[in-house]
Chains A and B, each alone.
Chain A
Amino acid sequence: MAGLVDADEWAFDAFVRARMPALLRFAHALTGDPHTAADLVQDALERTGVRWSKLRRTDDPEAYVRRAIVNGRTSRWRKLRRESLTDAVPEPRSHVDPATHDPDLWRLLATLPTRQRAVLVLRYYEDMSEEQIARTLGCAPGTVKSQSSKALAKLRAALADDEAYAVRAEPKPEATWST
């Protein structure tokens, strides 16, 4: 069956080359960090490659990769919370960085649990339906709905707090005296 092995390798190679940029963008949105995203995507694709001959025939390989990225993000977060992070690595930002586009929302997005963040990214970046998100994350459509609604509520509340604080902290206009 050497031919089938070759065909599988070739198909996997083609899949990786075609979908890598999209998967990296998805992972970037999920993690908030392009370097962590690259690590997660590589790990997820290696796992996919090992099971490729089965996945390409019976499953949606891209959904499997996305699920592996989300699960990898959760595992990584569990590992990292046992370590003490002192500060973010200083790094120059590009003008198209999401952190410069809407810094408040980008920061708040990072505070959401991985699943909720994944649901929002799949919904608002990948434009997936609730059923497609449920298939990708391996959960029920009802769970997607509740996670999405909770995540949006958290973001709305946090943004409202930020704006209220900003209004309070804004310097009052100087008084003008008429003579």
Chain B
Amino acid sequence: MVYLGGGVDVAQRLRDLLTDEHLAVRVPAGTVEAIQSGVRRRRRTRIAGASAAVAAVVAVAAVVVGPLALHRPAKVPHGDLASTIRGVWKPTPFTFLPVQMSAPAAMAVSGGVVWVAGPAAGASGGDVLARIDAASRRVTTLTTGVVSDMAATPRHLWIALRRGPGGDGACSLELRETGRGDVVSTSPLPCDTGNGSAPVVTANGTHAWVASDDGHRTHLRLYTVGSSSPTTEAVLPGRLAGPHLLAIGGTSVYVVTLVPGEGGARLHQLSALDLQPLRTTAAPGARLIAYGNDQVYVAAANGIASYPSDLGARHDFAAGRVTTLTTGAGLVWCDPGGGTYTGLDPHTGAVVGVTTMPADPGGLLRADGTVLWDVEPAPQVGVRSAQPAG
């Protein structure tokens, strides 16, 4: 291209020059593998270089941590807390959300930003979406459709909507950037609006996995940032068994469906990147699911079961009724008996952390790194965080 007479501004010429077309690149085969190999090599070099320091640290740790190991909790029934509690988590004061949000419907936390969505008081067309900066507690409000579930990564927020903004009757998936909450794309989802179908979403990196049912079958789709079309889709028999029954962990995604006449809920494991089915097992009465520490945790009416990531076996993890189940800060968090939020050892199920935060039936709990975030509905929707005291 020839530019004449200086009539075109440099900024415009830069925009014309710096385009995807002009900067076209070819990723040579094997580049990703070469990078992985380079990462391993650098790790080995770092480890070798630091071995003397590590040896010293290990020696010190043996002296300091040794006595603590004596108090490693064995599995105990709930109620016998005093001998096993290793941490009391104390909450900050509430940051209240704008009064127009009548109750929290979904919460997602990532990268120091907390997102809470809930119905707007007196309005039926859509929900209020609040963005809370964890450091400054500054609250920004936006509007969206009727939210069924949300998942966040540091750069993106994925919102599964029962109904689109402005009364649009169809389910959809909305992608927003986390800086200001601007909508990046919207994708329609299969759903059965007549029966209150509620799509669910979970996310990791630049991907989101969304499950929704059309009244007969469950559609599990993988979306990737940059495209509003699904990368791949798996169709599973039966309806989605509930609004909190999708989890991502390791290299798999887990979802629970309900097949009439086949003895209740089925827990499916699929490969996360191509959604190839890997394994299915019975999960009677499943109501909530969470993944952490290489385990899948499934809560039913009378307790929590744990499975290894390949669903090879089922173990009774904890007894009692819970209405919240999430993982974070190395623990499994729940509300045994509807009491205060409690952290369980991920391997033994023993209570190793307690909070002073009562679990309200309408509240939600999520973890971001080592910080717990709690949103409560009354008297005004408010958000607070908790960390181990001392």
Name A's B-contacting residues (CB within 8 A). Answer: 1-4, 6-7, 9-21, 24-25, 28-29, 34, 37-38, 42, 45-47, 49-50, 52, 56-62, 94, 96-98, 101-102, 104-106, 109, 120-121, 124-125, 132, 152, 155-156, 159-160, 163
- The answer to whether A18 touches B23, judged by C-beta atoms less than 8 angstroms apart, is no
The answer to the question of B190 belonging to the interface, with a C-beta cut-off of 8 Å to chain A, is no
Give the residues in chain A near B111, CB-CB below 8 Å. Answer: 58-60
B209 to chain A, nearest CB (A): 12
B307 to chain A, nearest CB (A): 12
A166 to chain B, nearest CB (A): 10
* Stretch with Cβ within 8 A of A (4 or more), from B25-33, B73-81, B123-131: B25-33
Partner pick for A49 among B38, B207, B225, CB 8 A cutoff: B38
- The answer to whether A29 touches B154, judged by C-beta atoms less than 8 angstroms apart, is no
- Specify the chain A residue showing the minimal Cβ separation from B6: A163
11 contacts between A and B (CB under 8 A): A2-B294, A14-B206, A18-B226, A24-B27, A28-B25, A49-B36, A49-B38, A57-B369, A59-B111, A102-B13, A152-B11
- The answer to whether A10 touches B18, judged by C-beta atoms less than 8 angstroms apart, is no
* A46 touching B251 in the complex, CB below 8 Å, given contacts A16-B32, A97-B22: no
Give the residues in chain B near A24, CB-CB below 8 Å. Answer: 25, 27
- The answer to whether A13 touches B6, judged by C-beta atoms less than 8 angstroms apart, is no
Give the residues in chain A near B32, CB-CB below 8 Å. Answer: 13, 16-17, 20
What 0/1 pattern do residues 249 to 291 of B give for CB contact below 8 A with A? 1110000000000000000000011000000000000000000
Residue of B10, B13, B251 with most partner-chain A CB within 10 A: B10
The answer to the question of B16 belonging to the interface, with a C-beta cut-off of 8 Å to chain A, is yes
- Specify the chain A residue showing the minimal Cβ separation from B155: A60
Report the Cα distance A83→B224, complex, angstroms.
Answer: 44
Name B's A-contacting residues (CB within 8 A). Answer: 1, 3, 5-6, 10-11, 13-25, 27-28, 31-32, 34-36, 38-39, 42-43, 46, 111-112, 154-155, 179, 204-207, 224-226, 249-251, 272-273, 292-295, 309, 368-369
How many cross-chain pairs have Cβ atoms below 8 Å apart between A and B? Answer: 148
- The answer to whether A3 touches B249, judged by C-beta atoms less than 8 angstroms apart, is yes
* A50 touching B43 in the complex, CB below 8 Å, given contacts A14-B204, A102-B1: yes
B69 to chain A, nearest CB (A): 17
B163 to chain A, nearest CB (A): 30
Give the residues in chain A near B34, CB-CB below 8 Å. Answer: 42
- The answer to whether A6 touches B250, judged by C-beta atoms less than 8 angstroms apart, is yes
- The answer to whether B292 touches A3, judged by C-beta atoms less than 8 angstroms apart, is yes
- The answer to whether B293 touches A3, judged by C-beta atoms less than 8 angstroms apart, is yes
- The answer to whether A46 touches B42, judged by C-beta atoms less than 8 angstroms apart, is yes
Partner pick for A124 among B11, B225, B293, B295, CB 8 A cutoff: B11
Report the Cα distance A106→B272, complex, angstroms.
Answer: 42
- The answer to whether A50 touches B25, judged by C-beta atoms less than 8 angstroms apart, is no
The 3 closest A-B pairs by CB, nearest first: A3-B294, A49-B39, A125-B18
